[in-house]
Structure 1
Amino acid sequence: MATANARFIFWNSWDEADLTFGSSGSETPTLPLSNTQRYNNSRTWRTTDTAEQQIKVNLAFTTVISGFTLWRHNLTEDGTVRVRAYDGPNQTGNVIYDSGWLPALFKKTLGELAWGRDPLGASAFTNWRLKYSSYWLPKENVRSLLVQISDPTNPDGFLEIGRIYAGEYFEPKYNFDLGHAIRWESTTQQNPTAGGSVHTLETETYRVLDFSLSHLDEQERVDLFEATRRVSNHRDIFVSLSPAQGGAKERDYSFAAKMTEAPQFRGEAARFTNNFTFREV
């Protein structure tokens, strides 16, 4: 199977959807499900127990849902997720896609496993502070969804998700250029003392990703120019430079992000180019 190019969920249809629980589902009063529709890392959705969660999603209008991501969650290696898409409202009409039950966390590849040290079934997120689940779906018109989340043995005693992205992804015909850069940054300030010590406070780190798309055709320019106009540098999106690959590479190059500034499009003879810088959020 051919490797997918970079993918970006610029427009999150989840944010305008009507969300209700199905036959099972719960939320704590101060951390409701609706928190997944707005970016704020301090306001998550938290359940009252580890029972299966069924979320009925009625979209604002018929649209393509080809990317689905649970971001900043506490699901474990035993957790599973199922997504069903319908062409009618309120989970009616034809089921146009059924993912079946899929792992919440993709496993380490054989080459990444540390034999004798990693636990059996270790995921790529073992010992990581932040976890996400991302699923790439067929590009079909969707009116409603049914999302099921199961992790009955979660040791926290509840399930928690910070943000959910569901929308059509943009994927360029030609992938990002060679020479991209990714790095960890933090807000920590180093404070040197007269004695030569350098003191810092430990703060959460975040990723910064720089890359270029240098082979955009006219239609891609139109689509990307409109997408970046809508999100600018104030809306959060989901970025994956290594989608559907699994292992550490997909983990490292996939995250919720904001553009540090809108990209500049440059026109050449038969193509358009631009540069992106994304900061993890």
Structure 2
Amino acid sequence: MPLSPRLSIAVVAAALALTTVAACGNSDPLASGGSGSSDPNAIIVGSANFPESETVANIYAEALKANGFDVSTKLNIGSREAYVPAVKDGSIDVIPDYTGNLLQYLDKDATATAAADVDATLTAALGPDLAITTPAPAEDKDAVVVTRGTADQWQLTSIADLAPHSAEVKFGAPAEFQERSVGLPGLKENYGLDVSPGNFVPIADGGGPATVRALADGKVTAANIFTTSPAIAANNFVVLADPKNNFPAQNVVPLLRASKKSEKLTAVLDAVSAKLTTEQLVALNDSVSGSAKTEPAAAASQWVTAQGLDKPVS
């Protein structure tokens, strides 16, 4: 399974960031290198370089501070190629990740897609330097999305329901979706949805505004949009069920430096994960990326307080 469109963008962004660092000197959050601190109470929380990751990282930081940890942050690090080695060398101790994509990074041959299978395979793939705690119910994964009008007209609830209309379906997604094993080939194999090359519409924004607009305006019949996009609810779109798990599970999971994992740290992160649902993540994304334009740190602080996680975990 190649990188998702969002993560492909992140890889490019990371490369650009390295160029900027070379010019500016001090903008690299990992410039100080590995700390390797053995103090279990001192935790460095990192994030990848997109708003959802930064928001969740700030949630971890706020909850850990409330439980007496000495917390610092290194945010907007970049892609897994940058932050997984940073966890291993002690530059950071905790970072939010996604189960399916983390598994694929660690084990290129992994084929698990269902959540339980992904979790089990991921645990085995971590090696001696990495650890995770319990994944959250919150999931940011690929989905096949249609308008409410299309869903009602064709009585669609799952991707399989779309298959009889294959000849009529114009599908909008990043160009690589046409060849990805979990893209059109997977949809054909698992559900019989056979989109002809002429009906595939490449849109290079990873399920973002251009994709949303194309779907809302009827330029495409179905689109690949991430499940935590606020645009789904805002436009009354319908996410079609994927009972065969064509798209691998992508539950939010804290990735840890193994030597820093403790009962106390696990208890706090598990308490956060237990509260973090997909609906909560959509709301956080809407707050940060929607019209309110709330800073990720502020959105995280508000959420931690609202969930009662600003107090020590019992």
TM-score range with shorter-chain normalisation?
Answer: under 0.3
Q: Which has the higher strand share?
A: 1
Q: Which has the higher helix share?
A: 2
Task: Give the TM-score normalised by structure 2.
Answer: 0.24
Task: Give the TM-score normalised by structure 1.
Answer: 0.26
